[in-house]
Structure formats: C-alpha cells, structure tokens
C-alpha cells in the first residue's frame, strides 16, 4: 500500500476547493454570479466531507417567537434529530435549535465583508432557542445547555496586503460582552485561517492548504458541541391556533 499517502489525499481536498474558487473568480464577471459560485464551492466541500449527521445549505433561521434571521450563505444544521425543516418558494427555513454553525461565503475578505458577516451571524445568534429534558432508558436527562453557534467567513482571496495582516486583526476585534457578532473561524483559501476566542483574542494562521485545515478544525469544533438541544416542538405548534 506504499502508493497511498494521507498528505496527498488531504492536499488534494484543498486543491479541489481552491481551484473551484479560482475558476469562479476568473470566469464570472458579475459580482453576484461570482458570489454564488463561491458559495457553491464551499457548500460542496461541506456537503461532501462533513459527517452525515450534519447538513449544509443556504437558508434562513427561525425561532419559536416568529423571528427570522437574514439569509445565510451556509447553515450547518442537524438532520438526524431535527423534526422541522420548512421550505417556501425553494427557500429553506431552519429552526434555531437545529443550527450548529453559520458562514458567509465571499470572493474576498475586507473590512466591509467582515462587518457584513458579523451582522448576519448576529441575526442568527440573537434568536431564541428552546431546550427540553431528554427521555431515555433510565429516566429523563436534564435539558442540554444551549451551545454557542459557530460563525465565520469563507473567502478565496484577501483585499489586504499582506493578506492576513494587522488590518484583518483590527477588523475582527469585538467587545467580549457582545459575543453575538464574533467570527469564531474563517478561511482565506489562498492564504490561511483566522478567528477569535471567547476573550476576543484574534488568531491568524497562515497555511499552505487552508481549506483542508479549516475543514478539520470545523469538524473538531462540531464534535465539541455534541448534539443539538431537544426542541420544544409545542412552542412552534401554537402558531397554528386560530
């Protein structure tokens, strides 16, 4: 089996994503078309390589109070335990309890795109989520505490020079008392990764194969979350009352 190489396999995964993003940047002249192609490339990566318990899609998020998020380029949500996935005019609407992570996918990172991603991610995190006690073989387990919804920005390039320098660090800063607009993890496929921790510390990590490193780090973060909370389905059903 000497012809097999884990390094080659992981490198090939990144090269596939980077090539797809590069082609979309070079081939499509309209910014909206470029954005759609970039979004599709990242969605294909996640749909192909995330464990099957997760699903990725472009969607809105809704809570039981009838509040909606902005449309998110990428929502990673639970498909195994989610009883409700709404579809209206080919648009998906996902209950807030089912969401693990949300991302914006753009061609290039700059201060404006960082702010835009922060605002859209905040529109998801501010939604209310229910969590019910969980019946199991030996009784009823206490309700699962609500997890932090991972949020980030995915791009092909950077508008800054250097691409992952101090301007990016400054753009990513946030107030620790307002974690709703924090970008936990981001990827610039041509250069590396970036992110923020709970204390507001920004990390910049240049990588030779950023898309692969991002995928593995995202999976690790999803593993730390475990399962989504058990949704209070009756809190949604009451909207059917006359």
Candidates 63, 78, 106, 184; catalytic one: 106
**What is the DSSP code (8-state) at residue 30?**
S
Q: Is 106 a catalytic residue?
A: yes
Q: Is 104 a catalytic residue?
A: yes
- Tally of CB atoms within 10 A around 151: 27
Question: Within 13 A of 109's CA, how many CA atoms are on the CB side?
Answer: 35
Candidates 39, 73, 78, 97; catalytic one: 73
Report d(CA 18, CA 45) in Å as an integer.
11
Report d(CA 192, CA 213) in Å as an integer.
9
Report d(CA 19, CA 13) in Å as an integer.
10
As given in the structure block, the two tokens for residue 224 are 């730390």
Candidates 39, 63, 104, 184; catalytic one: 104
Tokens 């700059």 locate to 110
Report which of 221, 167, 220 is spatially closest to residue 198, judged by C-alpha positions. Answer: 221
Q: Is 39 a catalytic residue?
A: no
Active site residues: 73, 104, 106
């Amino acid at each position: 089996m000497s012809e097999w190489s884990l390094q080659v396999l992981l490198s090939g995964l990144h090269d596939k994503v980077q090539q797809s993003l590069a082609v979309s940047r070079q081939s499509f002249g309209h910014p909206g078309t470029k954005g759609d192609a970039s979004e599709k490339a990242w969605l294909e990566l996640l749909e192909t390589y995330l464990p099957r318990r997760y699903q990725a899609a472009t969607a809105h998020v809704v809570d039981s109070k009838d509040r909606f998020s902005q449309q998110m380029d990428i929502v990673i949500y639970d498909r195994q335990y989610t009883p409700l996935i709404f579809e209206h005019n080919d648009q998906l609407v996902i209950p807030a309890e089912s969401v693990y992570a949300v991302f914006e996918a753009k061609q290039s990172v700059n201060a404006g795109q960082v702010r835009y991603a922060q605002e859209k991610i905040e529109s998801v995190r501010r939604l209310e989520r229910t969590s019910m006690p969980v019946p199991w073989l030996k009784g009823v387990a206490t309700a699962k505490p609500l997890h932090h919804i991972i949020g980030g920005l995915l791009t092909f390039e950077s508008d800054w020079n250097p691409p992952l320098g101090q301007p990016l660090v400054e753009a990513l800063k946030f107030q620790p008392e307002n974690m709703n607009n924090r970008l936990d993890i981001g990827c610039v496929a041509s250069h590396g990764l970036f992110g923020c921790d709970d204390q507001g510390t920004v990390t910049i990590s240049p990588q030779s194969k950023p898309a692969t490193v991002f995928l593995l780090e995202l999976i690790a973060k999803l593993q730390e979350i475990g399962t989504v909370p058990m949704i209070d389905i009756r809190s949604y059903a009451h909207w059917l009352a006359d």
